[in-house]
A and B are shown apart, each in its own frame.
Chain A
Amino acid sequence: MTAAHTTTPRTHTGVLVEQVVRRFGDRVVLDRLDLTIDDDDLVVLLGPSGCGKSTLLRLLAGLDKPDGGLIEVPANRAIVFQGDRLLPWQRVLGNVTLGLRGPDADKRARKALSEVNLTGREKAWPKQLSGGEAQRVALARALVSEPELVLLDEPFAALDAITRLRMHDLVRDLRRRHHASMLLVTHDVDEAIALADRIVVMSNGRIGDAHTVHLSPADREASVAREELRAALLSDLGLASQH
């Protein structure tokens, strides 16, 4: 809200969120929230439904404006929404090239589609895709512009458990090719453990505890450290007694 820091960026990479406030009427959803995401870092924002995770993500996307505080994000960013949000009147390729300019748009889109294992489906209509395929097109659409920041709003919540696991593999694979900061919003503790470099738990409109995850892919599947982390996250979410 102060006029001092408005135009000049403070950092040059990643995400900076400082003392951000967001209200809906009398209800304060984000209460002086702080968060930083480093370059090339995948942060998972974990919290129960209605805690303000998606509100924060929309602020980072620039879809809504904060009521107070400061948010700094790369201009080149992309969002994957909970629903695929594909244009039903565009074929798969047209959906991926939506934000692209230039003569090589189709070529880049084809490459992005091949990265999500959808080569050969360029000409399909969205109605002909399965839920997992549609969400992969949405992923390709987000990654095709080589964004510096990718925001994922519960992108796999509507998928079945098996497809979700495949999508986790795909995200890990995509992270090796694309160097971007990622913020993944979820209410799924196992999804958080599977993907995160850092897990932050949200409660009462602020970031509560943060857990840096230093686990090998195998340890993320099954290990003592994994179970300890899971127990810690559940206790942060206030679910310790049920565990």
Chain B
Amino acid sequence: MALLAPPAAASAPVRPRDIFLPGGDSRRRSRLGTLRGRLRWPLGVYTTPALILVVWEVLAQAGILKPTYAPAPTDILGTTVELWQDGVLGPDLAISLQRAGIGLAIGLTVGIVTGVLGGFLRTGEYLFNGVAQILNTVPLLAVLPLFVVWFGIDELTKVLLIAFGAGVPMYLNLFAAIRGVDQRLIEMARTTGAGPWRVVTRVLVPGALPGFLVGLRFSLAYSILGLVAAETVNADEGLGFLITQAQTYLQTNKVFVGLVIYSILGLLADQFVRILEQVLLRWRPSYEAV
């Protein structure tokens, strides 16, 4: 028996050990976890923007930030309401949204049609890929003067600039997404006796969907960028006009109103794609950060 006795505790170094005990139902636990997360981060991803707003407001109220330099957030909000009630902001916003909508519709249509043709057909690749790669290296802002010469200073230039911004990233991402679908899955689908239409609808389209959504995200972002650039040219209405006019008269608060609305449009576009991802990519296992 003496041989089986444990070695003297004094000589053995203490090694760290983990002990795991039942932690209750995992679902309840995770729900509790989300609740705790909510309480700890009530604003989620908007925590930092909200914090910046608070600091900004405090600095502005204290007089450290001059109103002509950066008016207080509450001042910007007041100006927004005022502009809206004066009937200035509403029509301007509507015309901007209309431009963005038409431009986006043209850009996405062209980008998706060429992207699908380029992705599926060798002929399509040879026809469109070179052009798309060249256009991709041309900055949006650099083609603006050219567009003005070609298409005048009216609506056409503005819409086409937005379409250009939206179309190129959509083509490139969709092309890469279709070509990037796992070859082994396509091969497998063919061996099951599925026809070309089945392979396209059940393998290629869902397989390319994540890449398509990345393209959509870029397209929406660039279309807003195109909108901003386009509206600096000879605009007599629209958000860009509002900003340019305010800049001329040094009405910094109005400039900020325009900027805030642009950024809200960007946020809404991002949220839209996020919701699409949640609905369309349910099958995808995603990493959940701690």
Number of interface residues of B (CB under 8 A): 19
User: Counting chain B CB atoms within 10 Å of each CB, which of A77, A83, A89 scores highest?
Assistant: A89
B203: interface (CB < 8 Å): yes
Q: Which label, helix, strand, loop or mixed, suits the secondary structure of the A interface?
A: loop
Cβ of A99 and Cβ of B184 under 8 Å apart? no
B194: interface (CB < 8 Å): yes
Whether A81 contacts B283 in the complex (CB less than 8 A), given A87-B206, A94-B202, comes out as no
- Residues 56-81 of A, flagged 1 when their CB comes within 8 A of B and 0 if not, give 00000111000000000000111101
Q: How far is the CA of A76 from the CA of B193 in the complex (A)?
A: 8
Residues of B within 8 A of A98 (CB): 189, 192, 194, 198, 202
Cβ of A88 and Cβ of B283 under 8 Å apart? yes
Residues of B within 8 A of A94 (CB): 202
Residues of B within 8 A of A81 (CB): 184, 188
Cβ of B185 and Cβ of A99 under 8 Å apart? no
Cβ of A63 and Cβ of B187 under 8 Å apart? yes
B20 to chain A, nearest CB (A): 22
Residues of B within 8 A of A88 (CB): 283-284
User: Counting chain B CB atoms within 10 Å of each CB, which of A62, A79, A126 scores highest?
Assistant: A79
Q: Which of A62, A99, A127 contacts B192 (CB 8 A)?
A: A99
Cβ of B198 and Cβ of A99 under 8 Å apart? yes
Q: Which residues of A contact B (CB under 8 A)?
A: 61-63, 76-79, 81, 83, 85, 87-90, 94, 98-99, 125-127, 141-142, 145
A-B interface, 5 closest residue pairs, ranked by CB to CB distance from nearest: A99-B192, A99-B193, A89-B206, A85-B188, A89-B283
Q: Which residues of B contact A (CB under 8 A)?
A: 184-185, 187-189, 191-194, 198, 202-203, 206-207, 209, 282-285
Apart from A89-B284, A98-B189, A98-B202: 13 A-B pairs, beta carbons within 8 A:
A63-B191, A79-B188, A85-B188, A87-B189, A89-B283, A90-B206, A98-B192, A98-B198, A99-B194, A125-B282, A127-B283, A127-B285, A141-B192
